Chain A
């Protein structure tokens, strides 16, 4: 790990000023940053430690019914907050399906949004990577890429965003509050992450010094609590990144879908909101056929970036399943294996 200056600002304004300098990065829990620094992927000159800043670790319901989650709230604290889990069950399920209990206890809400891709060529500093070293090339494009993007990728980068948390958040129209050099602003989470295009090194719209201070769920997000699920296919039963995941949330009125929300994880450089699929579900009965149609719409633009054509088919199927699960209703209690296809494996066997 490269030597760095350690700065512990007392206020958000001080933090923004300190982090706006070239070579500076924010340190929150460090569960992703330290991993990257140990691998030589990230070699910052200055760490601006925001973990001691006051007031960023609150979960509060605002007057309009929004929920405001401070950027320093730990993933586990949020998931285990009973009110939160009741109101936004798919988000809680996604959080609990990510990483391990230890990492969830440390990792913060803000940090989760900004975690970097797991692309092995990004991590391997001997490989060419346009994200890590702009203009160097992409060794993933002709490499071991069965896990890479099938949506929104470009010739210069086929990496995916690894977050589980962001997937239901983007489905629920989450808003990100940012403190920057020009003051506070807010953007939709869907606008935070950029697709790679020809500048994959620019992963978000954040400017130097910008600090995510909170994530807000708008009042309407609560309306999906009765029919919301997150489903994640992975190569271990737990403690593994998604091959593909999906968050589905429905508002069902009188037996018809009044509004649907759908997002995919593990398929693109950002959490992938599938609006076209949502549109075909408006005002229809929640049937398997309708969900199939939605799945086709959701993946209409998908194309393999390598040995990963299977992910497109898998994504379609996971969309259908997530919608079916959501339609069936949010379970009273989070399953023992959150977001797993094996959420209930104790069922009796029938020959």
Chain B
């Protein structure tokens, strides 16, 4: 085996001319011309339209549906109800693994939350299906809805997030608080939020015998495939899912949900292809959301501003029928060095669709509370918020005591603060105004997100013409997988990116793992990297063992793959092109597979996180209380940057989500009915263009030899952390008013200004 150790020096990976380049999106032309095909753009011959009817009550039972009225509507073909539907192979309420969530697919007349699907109308036209669903005029037996964070008896969930313990203890928190010079105790509330990807969940499903073809946006092709297979009792090879583009996911398209399953059932029922697209209001229920939280933080600091204790408790909710717990308090595990840290969670059950991961689950909710509390304790100590954070800088991960695999947070603080001009910030709040008389405030927050890795596989091939192929069932939900992974692929096989056919987005390709946890580029990238190394190794084997090759006998010295040639490492004048090697060997194509997976040994030894520092400026009208963010600077250290252009975009996006968290978005639930009263995009406010100020992102170089072969940490979620708190803290600094209920509403400022 020739020496081709590609993983020993990831920072200098090959002579890669692709990774690190700010390439524009390879799918850009498709997207700007309207030719990128999203699920709902498909239209197989004979296709019918399905429309869901959803429950207007949050708890109870459907007593009757006027199926006859719906069927009388011209064009209606069939109405799928609990009494009239294809059988499933398993009970959809059985949890076959932790990544399976219970779903409502008409298995009974019970209603567990508002907007739960209760019937599906299938028709020749969209108009007929939609009106057919309205004509069902359901009657209900209504039970009192469980609503809000005090809906019932609380309990400690067995795990929070994905398998984390609900409580952590480190040191003696009570003693730490008792010994503190300064203490703060504060309660912060965050609302339910909905992912609201611009693309509503959609499916086009076609059955051909027992073969199923599906167009559906998914962040997890293989998880979806497996779930479909078990629900419909068919083997994996009979299912084909296409998901070349997602119109945003943010976690809501990670796992197979009820509505697309209903689309597949409807297609089976009528024996024709069916398209089912959720109406915007129907996305507020069956496809996940971020649960509300109420977080109590108690912090103590000594006379020099050193934390003596950090206690973070979070109350959240789950549904009445399944378990997902926003791990908000876990945000306090890694950031600040306190000798005593306790985090804990409890929950109540409410009539809601089951909460789910939504961009930075736990980190986002926990971060805005923690960063606000840090700001409060810094003020109590009379310290600049940045100085306070530096004083409590965690040199090792506080609870575990592990060293960080890499942590350039100090550089993030420095570079961000310098770019922002933080040094000029007055310590006291309400000191700055602009020419127009608006109050001006500056705030900051620390960003962090774990560097995760999942499992993935990839297949690489080199073709006779010297070009490459890389296959992996990866997902592009906007983060840029089509481009960034192709760049990694190109370097992995030593070719220019345009010489590699990069295939992704379908379920017949090797499993890329889920596009979540900010881990997709790292995980899929590692698999691609490994597959590329393996195929190059095979190619090198062909060359170096062949007497006719100029590389013959280079085994010990090793070869380098570059620009479509293998080059002898110790003598670059000796090289041979891939095409020549394959031609001589008489091989049309050689292939190899590779995997990406977490490294348990490294994880045992190191704490692995990305970090950042976000600085925000807000202006507040001193009489009217309206707030606007006018400037944000974020400095992030997230390991290797594969494509700086797309990384910047991801970080911008995260920062805007942080801004939105602090100032805008909130689902308003009627406390009597459990219905969401702003289930739309008009009154559920996400930022518009005019809400978003000039943004500045600095990426701080970080070489991490431990996280994975490529040194990638991921940037999809970290941007929201730190940013939300920075905006909230800036509002305080502008006004002197500390608002602890998010989003910050005009009235809370108005009454105290």
A residues neighboring B (CB under 8 Å):
1-3, 40, 118, 120-121, 124-127, 139, 142-144, 146, 233-241, 243, 310, 313-314, 317-318, 320-321, 337, 340-342, 344-345, 347-351
Q: Are A144 and B746 in contact (CB under 8 A)?
A: no
- Over the window 612-626 of chain B, the binary record of Cβ atoms lying under 8 Å from chain A Cβ atoms (1 yes, 0 no) is 000000010101111
Q: Are A344 and B436 in contact (CB under 8 A)?
A: yes
User: Does B705 belong to the interface (CB within 8 Å)?
Assistant: no
B residues neighboring A (CB under 8 Å):
56-57, 73-74, 127, 130-131, 134, 424, 426, 431-436, 438, 440, 619, 621, 623-626, 628, 630, 664, 668, 670-673, 675, 677-678, 682-683, 685, 687-691, 745-747, 750-751
Known: A1-B127, A345-B434. A236 touches B621 (CB 8 A): no
Chain A contacts for B691, CB-based, 8 A: 236-238
Chain A contacts for B624, CB-based, 8 A: 233, 314, 317-318, 321, 341
Chain A contacts for B130, CB-based, 8 A: 1
Q: Are B436 and A239 in contact (CB under 8 A)?
A: no
Complex A-B: 21 CB contacts under 8 Å = A1-B127, A1-B130, A40-B134, A118-B683, A120-B677, A124-B677, A143-B672, A144-B671, A146-B747, A233-B625, A238-B691, A243-B746, A310-B751, A317-B624, A340-B626, A341-B438, A347-B438, A349-B434, A350-B432, A351-B424, A351-B431
Q: Given A313-B751, A345-B438, 18 other A-B contacts at CB below 8 A?
A: A3-B74, A120-B677, A124-B56, A126-B675, A144-B668, A144-B670, A144-B671, A236-B690, A237-B688, A239-B688, A310-B747, A314-B625, A341-B438, A345-B619, A347-B434, A348-B435, A349-B432, A351-B432
Give the docked Cα–Cα distance between A310 and B623 (Å): 12
Chain A contacts for B746, CB-based, 8 A: 233, 235, 243, 310, 314
Chain B contacts for A233, CB-based, 8 A: 621, 624-626, 746
Most chain B beta-carbon neighbours within 10 Å: one of A118, A317, A349: A349
Q: Are B678 and A347 in contact (CB under 8 A)?
A: no
Q: Are B131 and A1 in contact (CB under 8 A)?
A: yes
Q: Are A341 and B432 in contact (CB under 8 A)?
A: no
Q: Are B438 and A236 in contact (CB under 8 A)?
A: no
Known: A237-B691, A238-B688, A310-B750. A144 touches B677 (CB 8 A): yes
Known: A238-B690, A314-B625, A345-B438. A126 touches B673 (CB 8 A): yes
The 8 Å CB contact of A235, one of B685, B689, B690, is B685
Give the docked Cα–Cα distance between A186 and B551 (Å): 95
Q: Are A236 and B685 in contact (CB under 8 A)?
A: yes
Give the docked Cα–Cα distance between A119 and B687 (Å): 21
Give the docked Cα–Cα distance between A33 and B207 (Å): 39
Known: A40-B134, A318-B624, A351-B426. A313 touches B750 (CB 8 A): yes
Give the docked Cα–Cα distance between A336 and B747 (Å): 26
Chain A contacts for B131, CB-based, 8 A: 1-3
Give the docked Cα–Cα distance between A345 and B437 (Å): 10
Known: A126-B56, A144-B668, A313-B750. A341 touches B440 (CB 8 A): no
- Cross-chain pair count, CB within 8 angstroms: 125
Closest to A243 in B: B746
Q: Are B683 and A349 in contact (CB under 8 A)?
A: no
Give the docked Cα–Cα distance between A239 and B687 (Å): 10
Give the docked Cα–Cα distance between A117 and B542 (Å): 75
The 8 Å CB contact of A342, one of B426, B626, B677, B688, is B626
- B349 vs chain A, min Cβ distance (A): 22
Chain A contacts for B747, CB-based, 8 A: 146, 310, 314
Closest to A143 in B: B670
Known: A347-B438, A349-B433. A341 touches B626 (CB 8 A): yes
Q: Are A236 and B751 in contact (CB under 8 A)?
A: no
Q: Are B688 and A345 in contact (CB under 8 A)?
A: no
Known: A144-B668, A317-B624, A351-B424. A342 touches B619 (CB 8 A): yes
- A26 vs chain B, min Cβ distance (A): 21
Give the docked Cα–Cα distance between A279 and B337 (Å): 64
Known: A342-B438, A349-B432. A314 touches B750 (CB 8 A): yes
Give the docked Cα–Cα distance between A63 and B75 (Å): 56
Give the docked Cα–Cα distance between A139 and B672 (Å): 10
Chain A contacts for B433, CB-based, 8 A: 349-350
Give the docked Cα–Cα distance between A235 and B747 (Å): 11
Q: Are A127 and B673 in contact (CB under 8 A)?
A: yes
- A245 vs chain B, min Cβ distance (A): 11
Give the docked Cα–Cα distance between A144 and B670 (Å): 6
Give the docked Cα–Cα distance between A120 and B678 (Å): 7
Q: Are B628 and A342 in contact (CB under 8 A)?
A: yes
Give the docked Cα–Cα distance between A125 and B133 (Å): 14
Give the docked Cα–Cα distance between A350 and B437 (Å): 9
- A23 vs chain B, min Cβ distance (A): 16
- B12 vs chain A, min Cβ distance (A): 44
Chain B contacts for A142, CB-based, 8 A: 672
The 8 Å CB contact of A345, one of B74, B630, B672, is B630
- B113 vs chain A, min Cβ distance (A): 14
Closest to B128 in A: A3
Q: Are A234 and B626 in contact (CB under 8 A)?
A: yes
Most chain B beta-carbon neighbours within 10 Å: one of A3, A40, A235, A318: A235
Give the docked Cα–Cα distance between A40 and B57 (Å): 17
Chain B contacts for A234, CB-based, 8 A: 626
Give the docked Cα–Cα distance between A321 and B127 (Å): 48
Known: A236-B691, A238-B689, A321-B623. A143 touches B677 (CB 8 A): yes
Chain A contacts for B672, CB-based, 8 A: 139, 142-143
Closest to A344 in B: B436
Chain B contacts for A318, CB-based, 8 A: 624
- B718 vs chain A, min Cβ distance (A): 25
Give the docked Cα–Cα distance between A144 and B668 (Å): 8
Closest to B436 in A: A347
- B563 vs chain A, min Cβ distance (A): 49
Chain B contacts for A125, CB-based, 8 A: 56
Closest to B442 in A: A349
Q: Are B750 and A240 in contact (CB under 8 A)?
A: no
Give the docked Cα–Cα distance between A143 and B671 (Å): 7
Q: Are B623 and A320 in contact (CB under 8 A)?
A: yes
- B676 vs chain A, min Cβ distance (A): 9
Chain B contacts for A345, CB-based, 8 A: 434, 436, 438, 619, 628, 630
Chain B contacts for A348, CB-based, 8 A: 434-435
- A136 vs chain B, min Cβ distance (A): 14
Give the docked Cα–Cα distance between A235 and B690 (Å): 12
Chain B contacts for A121, CB-based, 8 A: 677
- B292 vs chain A, min Cβ distance (A): 15
- B60 vs chain A, min Cβ distance (A): 12
Give the docked Cα–Cα distance between A310 and B562 (Å): 67
The 8 Å CB contact of B434, one of A139, A340, A350, is A350
Chain B contacts for A124, CB-based, 8 A: 56, 675, 677
Give the docked Cα–Cα distance between A238 and B672 (Å): 31
- A316 vs chain B, min Cβ distance (A): 9
Closest to A316 in B: B623
Closest to A318 in B: B624
Chain A contacts for B424, CB-based, 8 A: 351
Chain B contacts for A349, CB-based, 8 A: 432-434, 440
Closest to B57 in A: A126
Closest to B140 in A: A126
- B167 vs chain A, min Cβ distance (A): 34
Give the docked Cα–Cα distance between A1 and B126 (Å): 10
Give the docked Cα–Cα distance between A351 and B430 (Å): 9
Give the docked Cα–Cα distance between A3 and B70 (Å): 12
Chain B contacts for A3, CB-based, 8 A: 73-74, 131
Give the docked Cα–Cα distance between A233 and B436 (Å): 17
Chain A contacts for B628, CB-based, 8 A: 237, 342, 345
Chain A contacts for B673, CB-based, 8 A: 126-127, 139
Chain B contacts for A40, CB-based, 8 A: 134
Give the docked Cα–Cα distance between A320 and B621 (Å): 13
Give the docked Cα–Cα distance between A275 and B127 (Å): 48
Chain A contacts for B432, CB-based, 8 A: 349-351
